[in-house]
Amino acid sequence: MKMTNTLATQRTQQGGLATYLTKAAVKQQINNIVGGNAQRFTSAIISAVTVNQELQRCSNQSILSGALLGESLKLSPSPQLGQYYLVPFNDKQRGKVAQFQLGYKGYIQLAVRSGYYRKLNVVAIKEGELIKFNPLTEEIDVRLIEDEDIRENTPTIGYYAMFEYTNGFRKAIYWSKARMENHAKKYSAGYSRDLQRGTQYTFWSKDFDAMAYKTMLRQLISKWGIMSIDMQNAVESDMAVINEDGSKDYVDNAENIIDEPSEYESTAEATEQPQDTIKDDSRTNTQQDVASALFSK
C-alpha cells in the first residue's frame, strides 16, 4: 500500500510540473531564454525531477527558475557532469524549494570558457604527500603517492588550488582539512546539523572533497581571478533559491531551515567520469515525447 501511494504521488507531482510547463506565460519565459532548445531544456527538467523524489515536492517555480539560470550560463544539469544541481531544500517561509548549487566543475567550465586562464587546477593533498607550502611565494613542495589505489584510500590532509593567466600571472592557495571543516560548519547550517545528528543529508556530508574543491575554486577565483559576467552571475546565485523576478534568497542558514532537514536522494557528487566518456541516458523516450508535446505547435 505504501509503495502504491508513493507511486501515485510521484505521478501527480510529475504531472503537476508538466502542466505548469504548458502554461502560455511559462512557455514564453522558456522560449525567451532557451529559444530553439526548448524541447531539450524541458526534457532535462523532467528528467531531473523524475529521478529525485524530494525534488518532485519542490515548487514548480523554483525548479524552473533554477534550471533557467543554469541554461543561461550554458551549464548542464546532468548529475554525471557535475556542473550545477537543483537541490531540494526545506524553507520555513515557503516550504520545499529547489536551490541552485554550482558544482566545482561548473566553476572550471566558466573559467576555461572565459579564455583568460592557461592553467586551472584543484587537488586533494593526501597524508604524507605535503612537504612544504610557502604562503609568501605560494610555492608547494609535494611528493604525490604514485599508486592510484593507495592514494585513493589515503586520508586527505588538505587542498591545493591554482590558476595561471594566459599572460603568465599565477595565484595559488592551500587550506588544511581542519580549516575546510571549520569553513563548512560556519557557512552550512545543514552540515552542522548532519554532524550533530549523525546524518548525511548535505553535499558536505555525502562528498566532502567535491564541496572542498568548489570552495577552493570559489576562494581563488572570486578573490584574485578575472571573472566574466557569467562567472559573476554564477557566484552570486550559488546556494540561492531563484525567484520568478530573478531575485535571490539564500536559504541555508539556521533561521530558514525547518527542524527536520530534507532527505533528498541525489547522485550529484557520485560520478567522476571524464566528460568525453559519459553516455547520457537521462532522456528517455517518454520524457522526449512529453517535451515534444509541450512545445509542439
DSSP for 82-113 reads TSEEEEEEEETTTEEEEEEEE-HHHHHHHHHH
The answer as to whether 108 is a domain residue is: no
Residue 24 has what pLDDT? 86
Same domain assignment for residues 182 and 92: no
The answer as to whether 197 is a domain residue is: yes
Residue 8 has what pLDDT? 40
Same domain assignment for residues 133 and 92: no
Same domain assignment for residues 127 and 75: no
Same domain assignment for residues 72 and 172: no
The answer as to whether 121 is a domain residue is: yes
Residue reference for cell 556542473:
83
Residue 126 has what pLDDT? 98
Q: Identify whether the C-beta of residue 102 lies closer than 8 Å to the C-beta of residue 238.
A: yes
Work out the number of other CB atoms within 10 angstroms of the CB of residue 59.
17
Same domain assignment for residues 191 and 282: no
Same domain assignment for residues 89 and 143: no
Same domain assignment for residues 130 and 204: yes
Final residue in a domain of this structure, among 207, 225, 243: 225
The answer as to whether 233 is a domain residue is: no
Q: What is the pTM of this model?
A: 0.75
* Sign, Cα dihedral of 249, 251, 253, 258: positive
pLDDT in tens, the chain (297 residues): 434 443 344 444 445 777 888 888 888 888 888 887 888 888 888 887 888 888 888 999 999 999 999 999 999 888 778 899 998 888 777 788 999 999 999 999 999 999 999 999 999 999 999 999 999 999 999 999 999 999 999 999 999 999 999 999 999 999 999 999 999 999 888 899 999 999 998 889 999 999 999 999 999 999 999 999 999 999 999 989 998 888 888 876 544 444 344 433 333 333 333 333 223 333 333 344 434 433 343
Same domain assignment for residues 1 and 92: yes
Same domain assignment for residues 85 and 175: no
Taking 3-state DSSP, the helix, strand and coil percentages for the chain, each rounded to the nearest 5, stand at 50, 20, 30
User: Domain span at residue 194?
Assistant: 117-225
The answer as to whether 111 is a domain residue is: no
Q: Identify whether the C-beta of residue 154 lies closer than 8 Å to the C-beta of residue 145.
A: yes
Q: Identify whether the C-beta of residue 14 lies closer than 8 Å to the C-beta of residue 56.
A: yes
The answer as to whether 232 is a domain residue is: no
Work out the number of other CB atoms within 10 angstroms of the CB of residue 155.
9
Same domain assignment for residues 132 and 74: no
Residue 15 has what pLDDT? 54
Number of domains in the chain: 2
Same domain assignment for residues 73 and 154: no
The answer as to whether 147 is a domain residue is: yes
The answer as to whether 67 is a domain residue is: yes
Same domain assignment for residues 129 and 93: no
Final residue in a domain of this structure, among 190, 206, 225: 225
